[in-house]
Amino acid sequence: MAKDVLAVHHADRRRDVMMPYAPALLVRRGSLLFLSGLTAAPVYHSHPHKEEEFALPSGMREQATLAMENMKKTLEAAGCSLSDVVAATRYLTDITEQDDLNRVWAAYLGDHLPTTTTVEVSRLATHPRCKLEITAIAVADAAARRRRPRPERRPARARARRKR
């Protein structure tokens, strides 16, 4: 079954302005993919955190580019792409840098307009130098789900011990 997602607009919407998002998206068919918060930091990093794993650029544009690359790679791991994103929440530590984020966002998404919410926060948990974190929801179709690798199976002996 192919996914089916429609942009929803008000009947009296203004057509003289360019909006960088859709007010709502109606998902009629497809499977939902929920992305954890993505930053400019490597997706896979040590916990507790190790300082040497967080060599982050200082600028919003550079951090936004790294975060978008992390989003792209995460989506691809599930058989999706940026055009499958239907909703995103963007957390910024400095709202005055939103225009820089929007430029990078537009470069990656082009005419695709997922719903977005942008929130200013005092700090992100990943690292004090992180300026941005993005969570997202994407819609995958049945073909994308089939491309996903199956989880590793435990050997029969390990499964048997677990049942005891």
Ordered by where they begin, the domains of the chain are 30-146 (3.30.1330.40)
pTM of model > 0.85: no
pLDDT tens digits for range 38-59: 999 988 888 888 898 889 999 9
Q: How many C-beta atoms surround the C-beta of residue 81 within 10 A? A: 14
Positive or negative, the CA dihedral 97, 99, 22, 143 is negative
Q: Is the peptide bond before 48 cis (omega within 30 degrees of 0)?
A: yes
Share of the chain above pLDDT 90, in %: 53
